[in-house]
Amino acid sequence: MGVLVGPRKPEALQVGTDLLAWCQSHGIELLACGDLADRIGCPPLAEVDGRMVEPIDLLVVLGGDGTMLAAARLVGDQPTPVLGVNFGWLGYLTEYALAELFPTLELLRTGAYSIDHRMMIDIGLYREGERIESHTALNEAAINGAPARITKFDCFIDGSMVTTFRADGMIVATATGSTAYSLSAGGPIVHPAVPAILLTPICPHMLTNRPVVLPGASRIELVFPGVKDQLLMTIDGQRVIDLQSDDRVSIERSARTFRLVSPINHNYFHVLRTKLKWGGR
């Protein structure tokens, strides 16, 4: 079993120590990410370029949603389920409270849990016809232009021209990401079980440019002709990439899924009500 602690979470150190004691009492080896291994006295989780080298049975994440997005990158292609314990402000992806951690681990040992397979998207960056960047995202790929400057870009779906957007940028999100940056930009809430890709323009300069929900099998391409100002693409808030004029960005459904440990009695709308205060005045 592995454990990942979010940055600036000193209160999680004691939990890591308690988790190590629990693992030792149950004959389970605990591996920790980063300097947590030295701090609690357990072996480190082997990583190369921020990705796990070998699969583990479970990854426990102590942090917020940003730490869960880092966990998605850490897991990479490995089929490792992830259990999120909320140490953040919102904790939309980290469903479990601290008090639920050890009772939940006991349930996991008996098989009393469910795995929520979350759709992910693959992002490719092409420059002069050559693919120069490849990434996978759980929430979104967000493209932002220079502050207070409108960016013009063409959108293609499955090879067919859709329209030319004039906006501050574009968010291409999964259903999981529909309650993140996309929601803040006016996008719809989409149930995470729906295999969909969302196009959410950021501050569009045209009244007809509205968010669009596409089938998960769609291939989206964004092209940026004649760009002179700064243009950035951010992957899950973790990786920032500079874009240039005439770059082409492709987004499509990934073969990978993010395996999220969920309570058997998990109710998505309860999460909306409690985490996002959905329906509140």
Within 10 A of 130 (CB to CB), how many other CB atoms are there? 7
Q: What is the CA radius of gyration of the chain?
A: 20
Please enumerate, as own/partner, the contacts of 51-57 that have beta carbons within 8 Å and a separation of 24 or more. 51/75, 51/76, 52/2, 52/76, 52/78, 52/80, 54/78, 55/79, 55/80, 56/1, 56/2, 56/31, 56/80, 57/1, 57/81
For the record, the structure tokens of 54 come out as: 């070998």
Q: What would the 3-class secondary structure string for 139-175 be?
A: CEEEEEECCCCCEEEEEEECCEEEEEEEECEEEEEEC
- Contact at 8 Å (CB) between 86 and 254? no
Catalytic residues, which ones?
A: 65
Which residues are CB-contacts of 200 (< 8 A; sequence separation ≥ 6)?
Answer: 170, 171, 172, 173, 182, 185, 186, 187, 211
Let me know: does 195 contact 178? Beta carbons within 8 Å: no
Cα(40)–Cα(56) distance, integer angstroms: 19
